[in-house]
Every structure is written in C-alpha cells, then in structure tokens.
Chains A and B, each alone.
Chain A
Amino acid sequence: MTSEEFSNRRHVEMPPNSARIHKAIDDELAFHIDERVRELIASGVQPHLARDRASAEFGGLDATRRDLQRIDADASRRQSLVDLVADFWIDLRRTTRVLSRRPGYVIIAAFTLALGIGANATMFAVTDRLLLSPPPHIRDARDVVHLRFDEAQAQSGRIIWVGAPYPFFIALRDAKPHFDVAGYTNQSMPVRAGETHRTASVTAVTSGYFSLLGTRPEMGRFFDGDASGERPVVISHSFWTRDLASADVVGTHIRLNGERYTIVGVAPRGFTGAGIMPVDAFIPLGSSPALPVGWQTRQNLRMLMVVARPHPGTTPPTMEAEATRLYQTSRRELPQFDSTARVVTATLVPGRKPEGEMTTDARVTVWLQGVSILVLIIAIANVANLMLLRGLERRRETAVAVALGVSRTRLLRGVMLESLLLGALAALMAVMLSRWSGPFLWSLLLPMGADVATTPLRDSILTGLIALGSVLAMSAVPVALQLRTKVSDVLREAARGSSTRGTLAGDALVVTQVACAVVLLVGSGLFVRSMWRLDGLNLGFEVNRIVAVHIDHGQVRDAEGAARFLRDAEARVRALPGVDLVSTSLTAPYRPSYSPPIYVAGHERLPGVGPGALGYPSFIAVSPQFFQVLGLTLQQGRGFEAGDGAAASFVTIVDATMARTFWPAGDAIGRCIRIGADTMPCRTVVGIVQDSKRSPIETNHSLRYYLPLAQAPVSQTNHYLFARTALPTAALVAPVRDAVLGSESPSPVVEVLPMTKFLEPYTRPWRLGRAVFVAFGVLATTIAAIGLYGVISYGIVQRRRELGIRLALGATRGAVLRLVLGGAGKRTVVGLVAGSVGAVLLGSGLRDLLFQTSPTDGPAFVGSMVVVLLATIIACIVPVTRAVRVDPTITLKAE
C-alpha cells in the first residue's frame, strides 16, 4: 500500500451519518437566517424584531429541514454504496497487484490450499455415497428397509440372517401387511452377449421389486411379475455401455447361463438395486436358471433378501412387530422353531451392515476423510503462516497507514481480500484437481467404481463452501494480528528492528504443521508396515508364484461333467512348461465359501462361534496338492492323498486356530467333525495346517477346515485351479487359459489371474490406505517444511541487526548457528511431541484397519520423526547459511 493511495480524502473522512447530516442542515439554515437578520438590521429593522421576521419570511423552516434531511440521507446512502464498490475495486486491484509481484508465494499458497480443498471435496462426495446416502434412483429411499431375521442358533448364540426362505416371503406378501414387500437374490452366472463372455452378477427379483423401489428405466421398461413364457432381462447402464456395442439394445437377446433372455429395458446409470454392489442384469426370480432345487418350498434355504416400504403412517417398530408375528406363524411347525425369533429392519444406507456396524470400505473412507481434513488443516496453517509473515513484513507500513487515518476495517478488508483471492484461486485449482483425481478415487473406494452419476453442481458448491471456510480460518490469525497492532508500538519497534508478538502466532502455526505432518506420517508408516507384512509370507500363501483360475460352467455342464472337465484341465495345465504343481478346489481363499453348521462332540456350544464372531467355520474342498501349491505348511498329521476318494472313509484337515479353539489340549488329530447335522457321517481330523486368512480385514481369525474334493458335501459347476510356477506369473496367464479351455465345446467361462491380482480386491483397503497416507504424509511434511523455512528466514531477516552486533562483538559463527537452529529446533521438538501424542490417540482407531501391525508400531513412529526432522533440517539450511554469512558492517550501516 502506498501512502498516495491513502491520501484519497474519502478514505480518511469519517463516513457521513444521519447526525452529521442533520447538523450540517441546521448549520446551513441557521446561517441563512443569520444573514437575513443582519441584512434586516442593516436596513433599519429593530434587532429584536429582525429574527422573527427572517423566520417568517423563510416559511416552513421545520418542513424544509425535514425535506432536506430526506434528500441528503438518500444521497448519502447511494453514495456509500458507490464508495463501497469503488473501494472494493481499488482494494481488489491493489491486492492483485501485490500478489502478482509474489508469484512464488501465490503458487505455493494456492496449491497447498487446493490440495486440501480438493481432497476434502472429493472425499466428502465418497463419504456421502458410502455412508450417508442410500443407493441411487430409489424413490424416498430412506423409507425403504431390508428385513433381517434375528434368531437363536443351536451351539452358536444368536445370528442375524440377512436372507429369508421363499415360503416365508410368500406368506408375508399374501398376508397383505401394512407395508409393500419385494424380494431379490444376487447370483453370478456366465453371460454371453455379442463378444462378451464372462461371469456376470445378476439380481433375480420377485414381482413388485421395481415398483417398490420406484425406479424409472433409462430406456425401455421394467418387467413386473414373474413373467412366464418369455424371459425378460433389464440390463444395467454399465453393462449396456461396456459390454454391448449397440445403442438400441431393447428387443435384442443375451444368454445367461445358456438361457436366452430378451432385453426389455436398461436401468438408469449407477442403479444397483437395493444393494450397493454392481449388478449387470436383473431377471425375474422365477426365470433364473441358477436356483437351487426346491427353492420354492425349502424352509431353511435363506436365499431371498426382503425389501419393504411402509405404507403411509406405518413406523419401523410397527413393521417389525407385524413381520415378526407373521414370521413366527410361518415357522411354528418347524423342528428348529425359535419363539424368540424376531424380524428387524435395516436401512439401505450402504456404509452400514445390517447389524448397524460399518463396512470396511466405510471405515477406510472415514479415515481418509479424517486424513484429508488434517491435510486441509496443514494447508490452512501454512497459508496463514505465509500471510502472517507478509503481514509482519508490512507492519511498519500498516502502522503508518493507521496513523494517517486509514480505517482498520479497510485494512482488514485488505487481508480478507487477499485470502479470498487465494481461496478463489485454490478452489478453481481444486475443482480441476478433483476432475482429474475424483474418478480415480471413486474407482478406488467405491465397489461400483466410476459408474456413479456425479453431481457437478453440488460438488462445486461443496468445493466453494470448503474454500470459504478455509479462507475464514486462514485469515483469522493475520486479522487478529492487525487488530492488535498498536501504532505507537510498531513505530517504536521499527526503529529497534525486532518483534515477537507476530512470531508467537507463527510459532503456534509451525508447531501445528509439524504435529499434523507427524500424525500423517505415522499413519502412512503403519499402512506401509501392514503392506510389508501382507506382501510377505504372513498372508499364508506364496502370492508371487501362483496363477489363479476360476472355471465357471454355469448350466452348460452338470456337476459331474464339470468335475470331469476339471480333471482334464488340471492334466493339461500340469503339462505346461514352467508349471511345477497344480491344485484344484471348490471355492478358494478370499472367495465366498461355505460355512454350514458343524457339530463337534464334547461341545454344547462351539467356542468362537456366535455373536461377535464370524459364524461357523468355513471349508474349502481341495485336491491333494492344494497346500503345497499355496505354500501352506502342514503342522501335524498328514495331508490329503489320492486315496481320500468318495468311497474312502471321510477325513478333514483343520487349520491351527480351529484346532486350538476346539481342542485346546492339542489332541485334534483323530477327532470328529459332522457337517450339517449331528447324524451325518464323521469326518476324522487327519492333519493340522497353518492358518490362512479368509479375508485380510478380519478383526479376529475365522476358523477354517479342508475337505478332499471328492468328499465335498456340495457339488458345483464352478471350480478354482491354482498353478505354481517358477516363471513370472504374468507370462503364464495366456498359456494357462488356453490349456484350461482345451478343445472341448461348449467352453466354460474361464478367468485367469496372477494370485496378486486375484487378491487385489481384498488387499485394497491397505493399498489404498498406504497410497493415500503416504501421499498425504509426504505432502504434509513438505508443506510443514515450507512453513518452517518461511518462519526461520523471516526470523533471521528480523534479527540480522542483532546477529550483526553479536558477530561484531566477537561471537563465533558456531554460536550464531546454535542460536538460530535452537529456535527452529524448539518448535520442531514441540511439534514432534504434540504430533506423537496425536498419533497415539488417533492410532487406536486405526487398529482394525491394520494388518499384524500395532497402532503404536515403533519403527513407524521413529521413521516418521526422522523424516520430519530431516525435512526441518533441509528447511533450515538456506536461511541458516544466510545467517552466518551476516556481515556486521553491512547490517549495522543499513540502519
């Protein structure tokens, strides 16, 4: 600000107010009367009559006064508005000019802020979708609920079933309760459509499903009722755009599980039904080619998810009571009837499991939201710090301006305007950033990936609001400083060349930044450590040497044909050069597995099974080489052998945790497991194998046992095949696919992946956590280092005179170095301590997301501190070298 700009009278004069206007009018009219009185007296009128006569001549003095007051008040109001706009433009031009002279400052400040704002806007959109909003395209979606079934279980306490048996659904619907109901079940089956030949996820729905949800099709129509005769299918928007070449698909055909379906409509973009997982197609339940035998009558086959929409005036408790009554009635005749069973409602909001607890993706999202808020805080602290330093630089100027009569509001407007400009620039950059990073983050975080209708307007408004909040927050400190600047202090101080008050606030900001950086780095350290452990052998498998294959016949072959195909395919793969070992299995680690009820002699209730645990142990039916291929070590007993066939005596192998849980005495071998009912044949435990995790996110290890493939209690037409190789797995993908497919026709759907890819969806939360925490941690450290650099440089410039005197008086450069570094060191140490405390506090919340890593992991903490310390040292190098090069004669002369 130059004093020439302040010399404009308008800014120095007090703004006119009504009192001033009134006084001016009174004075003006009084003057008029006085002049007239003088003239009258001069013309010979008696002085005591002159005044009355003058007033009488004037006529309506009071009325005139009121008129004038009105005219002047109007004019003044108009004028102050004009002035405000004019002042704003002057301030805006000046601020733009000042900022354009400091491109480095502007870029650093705006970019830091943009990262913080962009991260928050994007994360908030994700959080909203994952935690707060029900699935899209559902009318009044907050009214719609899933019905869940809370029931006591033999041996395992209470369980909440998510599915209902079909007969109950029919009974419920026919009872015409005070709510509409519809059912659906998710299935996966091979799909053929043009060039596409893959496993599709299909939702089979009962009549009334679409009308209950209140969704409108994007194209064509929805079907209603279990349409017999024709087989209608509604495809999802993403299936249409990704898998079908044609724009006009209604009326064309696709094959699901070998059956011909006619496309009658396309669902709107992003529609996933009542669930959140992506769906390729919707078909009528009755037409589904993948339903188990007896699905319409079996009372223990809980395959149907039930959604309900209350009639107007019906509350969830009423619904629960009504549904519970019907549920009990429908099950009264069953042997396993439980009189305490009740039906509960669960919202469609996807971040919550039916039991009300958060899903893992949701938890990761909440954490990332927290992380992005931390980054924003750092960015705000940093920009506030930069602004503060600039404010300190201009203290003297400001004091002069105040002394000249420039109003403080005007000065504050300057500060606010500067942060507003930076904020606007940052918001603009943030919008561009989230354009670029948004879809990427979405695809990482949301199971439906990028196939989500975005709301650009709402996102932009959100970005704007976050930017505005940031602007207010970051201008708070400089504004406070301005308000407290005393003219006399500053002018006196300027002569001495030192100031402490401003730097105190700066110190606090630096400490905040360092602390936040430590928190983020510790977070990233914990995730990095989790990934290390995960990438190592701790997963239970040798991930890097395995190729995984999923073979899905659908209904092209029956179970027997599928088993024969599998044996042939196994032989063909084994013959491939580079393949050392091959195993086959029914289901696979990290894939949905069977957990039928089991019965173990000596246990009234199974330990570790029930509420809070994960239900019954799951089994994988495997060929003898399975453990070798996956690198699981047998700890006791024997593995499976070729002789463990369908006709041989039934055997099983349990994992270490299951052995420990059920037979703590260590005598698992030779014990007996019965599957399904306690009258089923005994499966003798012949071996104990090392643990493998069913899902990386498990908070407690779930129990698992293995069965020989030939002795599996279920038969399926889809299998897994694992090949172990010494070659790079990627090179083996194509040969393995060819070998599996062979020449037999019709060919099944075959998916071949290196094991690392196979596991990817399950390791995603950690990879994501690592990527985001590391990125944000590095960012935070850099920003904090820049802030520190600024504060130290400023301090040295301010103390140049003092340092000059010290050097002149014979202080060594080493002593000066210690002096300067000491200040920076103190701030850093305080920041480190504060950050560590914060990290310990926040870390406990991360516990569930970490893999075999303590939230207070030593290396993560020490590593983070070292990184922050190094960054501090780097930030100090330039200003400190400048400090020790201070030439006493030059600095002292400069004063």
Chain B
Amino acid sequence: MGDTGLDLLRGTLDLMLLKALAWQPMHGYAAAKWVRAASRETIGVEDRALYIALHRLEARKHIRGKWRMTSTGRRAKFYELTAAGRARLKSDTSQWDEYVRAMSYVLHAKPESAS
C-alpha cells in the first residue's frame, strides 16, 4: 500500500469489493449495496469509482466478469473472485489489520511512554 491518501482510498475500495465478492458473485450495484450495509451505512461508494475499480480488478484478473440472469430475470454482469483475487484479498486483509493496529497504537499512545 502506498503512502498517499489517494492510494489508500483506492486500495481500500479494492479491498472492500474483493471482500464483497468473496461471499458470492454479484453485480456492481449489489456490491455497492453490500459495502454500504456491511459498513453499517457509514461508507457509500461513489458509482463512478465503483465501476472503475471493478474493471481495473477485472483487467488485473483478480475478478472475472460473467453475464448472468438476476433473480428478477434481467441480464447483468456478475463479478466473481479468481484465485489470484482470493490471494490478494487474504494478503491485503492481513496488511490492513496490521495497519489499523499500528494506527491505533499511535493514536492511543500514552504521553509518558514516549522518550
């Protein structure tokens, strides 16, 4: 993960989408809804960013798009994780956890522990 805010954000969105698709294949609209629900309505994904992220992930072969019928009988492009995508989800998740832990140490550090 890079050190600029933009990379952080993009990496974050990628990770969230990979996580969403890890449950089951879904189309873009459903993935966005899932993220919103999973974040307890705190994170709303911008539509434009959503699709660019999906297509980038597809181009990198982390996810694979397939046209299928929805439960309501409409044709939609469903994305599913590839093996490479699953591996990336795993490594990014552990990196993210580490990052969050480190951030929380920093933010909750007591003044006297600093030298």
Q: Give A contacts to B, CB under 8 Å.
A: 24, 27-29, 31-32, 34-36, 57-60, 63-64, 67-68, 71-72, 74-75, 78
Contacts and interface: CB of A to CB of B under 8 A. Distances in A.
B29 interface: yes
Contacts of B58: 72, 75
A29 B52 CA distance: 11
Given A31-B77, A32-B28, A72-B59, A59 B51 contact: no
A686 to B, nearest CB: 104
Nearest to A54: B47
Interface in B37-78: 46-48, 51-52, 55-56, 58-59, 67, 74-77
A29 B51 contact: yes
Nearest to A24: B77
Given A59-B48, A64-B48, A71 B59 contact: yes
A809 to B, nearest CB: 60
Given A27-B75, A63-B48, A72 B55 contact: yes
A144 to B, nearest CB: 64
A834 B55 CA distance: 66
Contacts of B74: 31, 34
A68 B52 contact: yes
B59 A60 contact: no
A538 B27 CA distance: 97
Range for the number of chain B residues in contact with chain A: 10 to 19
26 contacts: A27-B75, A28-B27, A28-B51, A31-B29, A31-B75, A31-B76, A31-B77, A32-B27, A32-B28, A32-B51, A34-B74, A35-B29, A36-B29, A58-B47, A59-B46, A59-B47, A64-B51, A68-B51, A68-B52, A68-B55, A71-B55, A72-B58, A72-B59, A74-B59, A75-B55, A78-B59
Contacts of A68: 51-52, 55
A35 B33 CA distance: 11
A32 B33 CA distance: 11
A36 B28 CA distance: 12
Nearest to B56: A71
Nearest to A65: B51
Contacts, number: 53
Given A31-B29, A71-B59, A75-B59, A57 B47 contact: yes
Contacts of B56: 71
A874 B61 CA distance: 62
A72 B56 CA distance: 8
Interface string B13-41: 00000000000000111000000000000
Task: Give the interface centre of B52, B58, B59 by most chain A CB atoms within 10 Å.
Answer: B59
Question: When A and B form their complex, which 4 residue pairs have the shortest distance between CB atoms, in order from nearest?
Answer: A75-B59, A35-B29, A71-B55, A58-B47
A36 B56 CA distance: 23
Given A72-B59, A74-B59, A28 B77 contact: yes
A28 B59 CA distance: 16
A59 B76 CA distance: 21
Contacts of B52: 64, 67-68, 71
B10 to A, nearest CB: 13
Given A24-B67, A31-B74, A78-B59, 9 more contacts: A27-B77, A28-B51, A28-B77, A29-B51, A31-B75, A31-B76, A59-B46, A64-B52, A71-B56
B60 to A, nearest CB: 8
B6 to A, nearest CB: 15
Interface in B69-94: 74-77
B92 to A, nearest CB: 20
Nearest to A35: B29
Contacts of B47: 32, 57-59, 64
B59 to A, nearest CB: 4
Given A27-B75, A27-B77, A32 B29 contact: yes
Contacts of A71: 52, 55-56, 59
Contacts of A75: 55, 58-59
Nearest to B59: A75
A307 to B, nearest CB: 69
A739 to B, nearest CB: 93
Contact of A58 (B48, B67, B75): B48
B105 to A, nearest CB: 38
Contacts of A58: 47-48
A34 B76 CA distance: 11
Task: Give the interface centre of B27, B46, B48, B74 by most chain A CB atoms within 10 Å.
Answer: B48
A407 to B, nearest CB: 22
A67 B52 CA distance: 7
Contacts of A57: 47
A879 B86 CA distance: 62
A35 B46 CA distance: 15
Interface in B92-110: none
A63 B46 CA distance: 14
A468 B13 CA distance: 53
A35 B27 CA distance: 11
A351 B77 CA distance: 74
Contacts of A29: 51
Nearest to B32: A32
A78 B59 CA distance: 9
A69 to B, nearest CB: 9
Nearest to B47: A58
A863 B59 CA distance: 71
A494 B6 CA distance: 65
Contacts of A34: 74
Contacts of A27: 75, 77
Nearest to A74: B59
Contacts of A72: 55, 58-59
B1 to A, nearest CB: 21
Contacts of B55: 68, 71-72, 75
A60 B75 contact: no
A315 to B, nearest CB: 65
Contacts of A60: 48
Contacts of B51: 28-29, 32, 64, 68
A57 B56 CA distance: 22
B27 A31 contact: yes
B90 to A, nearest CB: 23
Nearest to A71: B55
A556 B87 CA distance: 96
A75 B52 CA distance: 13
A75 B47 CA distance: 21
A75 B58 CA distance: 9
B95 to A, nearest CB: 25
A60 B49 CA distance: 11
A29 B51 CA distance: 9
Contacts of A28: 27-28, 51, 76-77
Contacts of A64: 47-48, 51-52
A829 to B, nearest CB: 63
Nearest to A67: B52
A357 to B, nearest CB: 70
Nearest to B52: A67
A59 B55 CA distance: 18
Contacts of B28: 28, 32
A58 B59 CA distance: 22
Nearest to B48: A64
A649 to B, nearest CB: 110
Contacts of A67: 48, 52
A24 B76 CA distance: 10
Nearest to B46: A59
Contacts of A24: 67, 77
B72 to A, nearest CB: 9
A32 B47 CA distance: 9
Contacts of B77: 24, 27-28, 31
Contacts of A78: 59
Contacts of A74: 59
A660 to B, nearest CB: 94
B25 to A, nearest CB: 14
Nearest to A63: B48
Task: Give the interface centre of A28, A57, A71 by most chain B CB atoms within 10 Å.
Answer: A28
B11 to A, nearest CB: 17
